[in-house]
Chain A
Amino acid sequence: MKRGPSVFNLVSLTLGFAFLYLPIVLLVVWSFNASRLVTVWGGFSTRWYAAVFQNDQLMQAAWITVRVGLISATLATVLGTLAAVALTRHGRFRGRTLFSGMIYAPLVMPEVIMGLSLLLLFVALQVDRGFVTVTLAHTTLTMAYVAVVVQSRLATFDRSLEEAARDLGATSTRAFWQVTLPNIFPAILAGWMLAFTLSLDDLVIASFTSGPGATTLPMRIYSQVRLGVSPEINAVCTLLIGAVTVGVIIWSLASKWRARASA
């Protein structure tokens, strides 16, 4: 018997979401605008999309970005999950405070600082900057996010399920793999997606830690944006938005379908 949102609530919601989505909507509209200008509608056109696919530099950068994202996200998920387990299950071990500090710090640390420090590390280790260094940098950044997501799910997970498994003869590790892990899997998957997205989107750290031959899409977009308006960028963004929206819709349909199937 909870009262629903009031008029004031609905107005704040509408205004808030309008503010959030205005640029996105505009980008989509502009990407189909035959005219280069943002204030003039020159008719519906897909020429910018065509231009995107013909732009080798952009396509190459996109491919590199996707690969960096896939690898770093997967690595980050593994590391982040281990970290989350350590934080929630391993009780008080020596150095725990430092550990948890290192987990939460990247969440708020300004990226220029992280980028700078990682670059200095690679230089000190005399590692050439490129694909590998960017991937390592992204892994470090995003594992913290994965850890937070998985940890919050682990905290609410019912321990007695694991205990029941052990009572029935499973070792600690087996109980974790066969009972806990499958149940927290959605959180792990969410963590992976978050890590992937962050990697895809990162400009600052990539600029510091990447090298020639491993220019990522954000880096490419940034350099093009400095030079002036290019509607191809709008097309790229719309493609990204479209891909993400489709992905989200598929995911929520899949989970609804799975929920109904198991009901």
Chain B
Amino acid sequence: MKAPASPRGAQKTAGRRTNIGAVRSTFAPWNDPSAVPLVRFENVSKRFDDHVAVRDLSLDIYPGEFFALLGPSGCGKTTLMRMLAGFETPDTGRITLGGEDLAGVPPHERPVNMMFQSYALFPHLTVEQNIAFGLKQQGGLPKGEIAARVAEMLALVKLEPFARRKPDQLSGGQKQRVALARAVARKPKMLLLDEPLGALDKKLREETQFELMDLQVELGVTFLIVTHDQEEAMVMADRIAVMREGQIAQIGRPEEVYEAPASRYVAEFLGDVNLFDATVAASDHPLARLSAPEAAGGFEVMDDDCPPAGTAVTLAVRPEKMRISLDAPAADAANVMAGEIWDIGYTGDWTNYIVELPGERLIRVARANASRIVERPIGWDDKVWVTFDPDAGVVLTQ
């Protein structure tokens, strides 16, 4: 994956040990006690007639961040974003932007702009006129400078030849760029993106992901995206807030949230995961032992943050961290499970194996197809052994 050439300052990441691959960037103002957040939600709640959308939520977003609100529909992420834009008002709590309380400030007076999920391009205006719309309002530009800014925006999104077209003459990807250009034309402090890539096809989505990231750094604007697509969030964001039923389940870097989930919910929401109900049997620093029905020899995990013996826990192991083999491993090794291939999902670059363990338990193992030619391919109904390393799994208590 390409590491963006980032003008962000270097900073050591402190905090919880994460024994994961390359850290994508060293930009982390949230770890700097002297950094001032751009946006702060303080104990914000919002309820609609029958249900509570946002529940006593507090969150800081720092300038220059690419922040993602991730969660299933109904989790409150869109409501949170709309409260920031000014289309909803919080029932309780406070939202501040740049230190100023946003209460009572209508949307057209906020230095925040939004890129709508449906793009909301004005059908009766051309691309140029759409982009110029915000510039003609209060807080925009003097007349003489509007044309120049519009040209600048068109160049930014590479749509110069389409300036005179109307929205109904554009493709989906082009409409999205117009919506983006229009939203950043006023050079807002913060840009909100509502499910920005949902309507695009796969290839376009990948290209656009990187373009958005580059654009964000180039413009120096803080981005907040709202999405239910975890891939989108993980590729683009500096930090992700996983939301559940109006509250934040976990915030962190994509790697943190993926490899060190704080709860079953987060582990299950991001990607695939195998969850094992287990009991802590013994602690044997730096390892700990868990007993579970699936593994005859029990599970061996790292013991940091492992609760005392006797506690019921969940062990979460991602499919790609497991190894699968037709050959039996050493006799009394830990983290060994024996089973039969139940189903195979071949996607070209990866193969997903669904393995049936005794007791009709199904687990998922993913293996990259690293060689073109495989001597002994694993097939349906084969007897296999699944293993993983002690640091491959995370012990969860909630």
Q: CB-defined interface of A1-38 with B at 8 Å, one 1/0 digit per residue? A: 10000000000000000000000000000000000000
Contacts of A1 in B (CB 8 A): 82, 87-88
Q: How many residues of B contact A (CB 8 A)?
A: 3
Q: How many residues of A contact B (CB 8 A)?
A: 1
Q: CB-defined interface of B83-100 with A at 8 Å, one 1/0 digit per residue? A: 000011000000000000
The docked-state distance in angstroms from the alpha carbon of A72 to that of B258 is: 72
Question: What total count of A-B pairs have CB within 8 Å?
Answer: 3
The docked-state distance in angstroms from the alpha carbon of A39 to that of B221 is: 71
The docked-state distance in angstroms from the alpha carbon of A142 to that of B87 is: 47
Interface of B is mostly: loop
CB nearest to A3 among chain B residues = B87
Contacts of B88 in A (CB 8 A): 1
The docked-state distance in angstroms from the alpha carbon of A194 to that of B298 is: 78
Chain A min CB distance to B224 (Å): 18
The docked-state distance in angstroms from the alpha carbon of A1 to that of B88 is: 9
Contacts of B87 in A (CB 8 A): 1
Chain B residues 242-266 with CB under 8 Å of chain A are none
The docked-state distance in angstroms from the alpha carbon of A255 to that of B39 is: 51
The docked-state distance in angstroms from the alpha carbon of A87 to that of B87 is: 44
The docked-state distance in angstroms from the alpha carbon of A1 to that of B78 is: 11
Chain B min CB distance to A3 (Å): 9
Chain B residues 45-88 with CB under 8 Å of chain A are 82, 87-88
CB nearest to B82 among chain A residues = A1
The docked-state distance in angstroms from the alpha carbon of A1 to that of B48 is: 10
Chain B min CB distance to A257 (Å): 27
Chain B min CB distance to A145 (Å): 30
Chain A residues 144-191 with CB under 8 Å of chain B are none
Q: CB-defined interface of A37-74 with B at 8 Å, one 1/0 digit per residue? A: 00000000000000000000000000000000000000
Chain B residues 332-390 with CB under 8 Å of chain A are none
Chain A min CB distance to B153 (Å): 29
Chain B min CB distance to A6 (Å): 14
The docked-state distance in angstroms from the alpha carbon of A47 to that of B59 is: 75
Contacts of B82 in A (CB 8 A): 1
The docked-state distance in angstroms from the alpha carbon of A1 to that of B87 is: 9
Chain A min CB distance to B32 (Å): 36
Chain A min CB distance to B79 (Å): 9
The docked-state distance in angstroms from the alpha carbon of A1 to that of B107 is: 15
Chain B min CB distance to A189 (Å): 34
The docked-state distance in angstroms from the alpha carbon of A1 to that of B89 is: 12
Q: CB-defined interface of A120-150 with B at 8 Å, one 1/0 digit per residue? A: 0000000000000000000000000000000
Chain A min CB distance to B194 (Å): 12
Pairs across A and B, CB under 8 Å, 3 listed? A1-B82, A1-B87, A1-B88
Interface residues of B (CB under 8 A from A): 82, 87-88
Interface residues of A (CB under 8 A from B): 1
The 3 closest A-B pairs by CB, nearest first: A1-B88, A1-B87, A1-B82
